[in-house]
Chain A
Amino acid sequence: MPPTAVNTSTKHTAPNLTVALVGAPNCGKSTIFNALTGLRQKVGNFPGVTVEPKRGDAHIDKTTTHLVDLPGMYSLLPKTPDEALSIAVLHGQHEKLPMPEAVIFVMEGTNLEKSLFLYAQFAALNIPTVVAVTMIDSIKASGGVFDDITMEHALGVPVIGIVGHRGIGLEELREHLALRGFSRPEARQNHIPTDGNIEAQHEWARNLASEVARIPELDSLTTKLDAFFLHPVGGPLIFLAVMLLFFQAIFVYATPMMDAIEAGFGALQSLAEAALPAGIIQDFVSRGVIAGVGAVIVFLPQILILTLFITLLEDFGYLARGAFLVDRIMGVFGLQGRSFIPLLSSFACAIPGIMSARIIASEKDRLTTILIAPLMTCSARLPVYVLLITAFIPSATLGGVVSVQGLILMGLYALGALSGLIAAKILKSTIFQGSKLPFLMELPPYRFPTWSSVLITLFNRTKQFLTSAGTTILALSIILWALGAFPRHTPPVGANSTQIASLQLEHSALGTIGKTLEPIFAPIGFDWKVTIGVLGSFAAREVFVSVMGQVYSVDISESDENLRTVLRSAISLPTALSILVFYVYALQCMSTIAVMKRETGSWKYPAIAFVYTLALAYSASLLVFRLAT
């Protein structure tokens, strides 16, 4: 073996540099970041206590540049947590992120005054900088001229014109990164008003903007489209149509894919059961591992469709318009316009709903939305509702038209939604109370989404879900399987497979827990069998149906009809109503809990959600059970 004194570092590279992307919100920073780093970025970006700017490496000509995409800001006097983070990083005062050695300052070509105002304040920091002006094609398309030479003289740093989606200017920017072509603004020398006088800074910015770029008054396409999308009457109607399509997409179009995934994993289970000898190994592989992985993968169609839809709407510019239209209505419940999308998606499934809450910039509004999302009736509750309603509610009609069963079903949906909105109001006036952040929103110009950016978002969202929430869901599935499978029970001779399954469940740890908890659930009408069903639902709520089949030894592989008959004689109507109300409220879904943890960065919020929904569920069930008995 040769001596180990090997220098593994490459000799020809310059030392690595940390460069921050700085700019106003919506100025095209992310497009540049994605173009420079490609798919090499490390983690996604979303606002919050867990604020974590996007980071990634750009490898150009054997050099490596660590890029940090700082949240957009309007000035160096912070008004929001996002701005405070960006400014702390620029001052080298952030706990984890290093002070950048240089900055790519991104300016929106069609709104230079805003960007130049920020630059006037930023210049005081005197950090080596290169300025990238985006959307110069829009200036040129509308008959304007972009004068980068004059701008370089005025700003004291290199200026590069960029057209992100066509790749124009990106090569020049890469060269600047590789050759470390940055300069310090030297504000005093260049007569940039850094002294904090907002009026003077705006005057400087306005004059320079009119000097370097002749820009038409307003983007005429945006004006025309807004006359259509924000029409006093047509606007809300279009919004309703978009939401309907959106709901349709996640609720209906995802179903065939989810069914296919479930069927696929079902086939895989049969295959494993056929290949392995009956016993604990077979049970573990089939009902533990395969079912657990299936429980993770089954969410992917909804997450992908939802993310695609939201990314397209956001990039196109419609999301901000939707928020504008419903802001007042959501405001009644202490929420804001952007809470609408996550809550609507939660009717399909709380998991994509909670993930989409990232579009809400205000931390308190985002957390409130996440905490109430599980109260929106998700599709997993439907099998439970349908089983109990068809078993216990007569299929009569009111006045020969309105079905009582349908009415009850609708009532359960309404109960959940209304309770959620009231909970939001309470949360916003208690734990999420506090100084109101200024609500200032810009309706961005309409733009055509770039496919690469959409695909990167889809890829990252999927990766995050699978690696972070997915592993937790899988682990919890296996634990739940183990609770139902141990300790092993030796079945009596002559028992059929349905009876064996029933006896195993009764004598398992889950069965013991159910019996132990029975006194707690007795006041709301649950015996230990129902309790096991409720506990088993933590894997997924629809599991209630199959667990009920198991505890009552009913073979439900053909139809639910036998189970309905058995349930009618086994439990009373008050108990059935109590279960229904319990399912409206209780957060008995470990996948939701895992995603909540992932999205809020701590177990605190899932714990709060679990406790408050359980308290609601228990009291509501108690009330219903008492009233019905």
Chain B
Amino acid sequence: MNEIPVGSSARIITYTQNDSFTERLREFGLIPGTIIRLLRKAPFNGPVEIQYRSSRLVLRPDEVAHMRLERIG
């Protein structure tokens, strides 16, 4: 996520671990293949807000680290 600038998009390839947290992400509809867009970052390397389909979600950077992403634009 650190490499992705605000406003650009990426595709979720897979999750690097399988626990209740990544299960919750999938329940939110962030299943592999989903395209997400980075909307904004909070100050001091704080949480990020992403958009996917018609939903938005706030995540902490260390939690996004469990997503393997492929930048697409």
Contact = CB atoms under 8 A, between A and B. Distances in A.
A111 interface: yes
Interface string B37-73: 0011011111101010111111110010000000000
B57 A442 contact: yes
A328 B47 contact: yes
Contacts of A326: 46
B47 to A, nearest CB: 5
Contact of B60 (A77, A226, A439): A439
Contact of B40 (A75, A230, A442): A230
Contacts of A328: 42-47
Interface in B1-54: 20-21, 23-29, 31, 39-40, 42-47, 49, 51, 53-54
A586 to B, nearest CB: 34
B60 A74 contact: no
A117 B24 contact: no
Contacts of A202: 26, 29, 31
Contact of A79 (B20, B46, B49, B56): B20
Interface in A164-210: 198-199, 202, 206
Interface residues on chain A, size class:
20 to 34
A79 B60 CA distance: 17
Given A113-B29, A443-B49, A215 B58 contact: no
A324 B31 contact: no
B42 A324 contact: yes
The secondary-structure label for the interface of chain A is helix
A226 B6 CA distance: 14
Contacts of B43: 232, 236, 325, 328
Interface string A198-238: 11001000100000000101100000001000101000100
A623 interface: no
Given A114-B29, A439-B60, A77 B49 contact: no
Contacts of A230: 40, 49
A275 interface: no
Given A79-B24, A198-B31, A441 B47 contact: yes
A331 B43 CA distance: 12
Given A198-B23, A440-B57, A441-B58, A325 B46 contact: yes
Given A113-B54, A441-B58, A324 B47 contact: yes
Contacts of A206: 29, 53
15 contacts: A77-B23, A215-B54, A218-B54, A226-B39, A230-B49, A232-B40, A236-B43, A324-B49, A325-B43, A325-B46, A438-B21, A440-B24, A441-B47, A442-B58, A443-B58
Interface of A: 74-75, 77, 79, 110-111, 113-114, 117, 198-199, 202, 206, 215, 217-218, 226, 230, 232, 236, 324-329, 331, 438-443
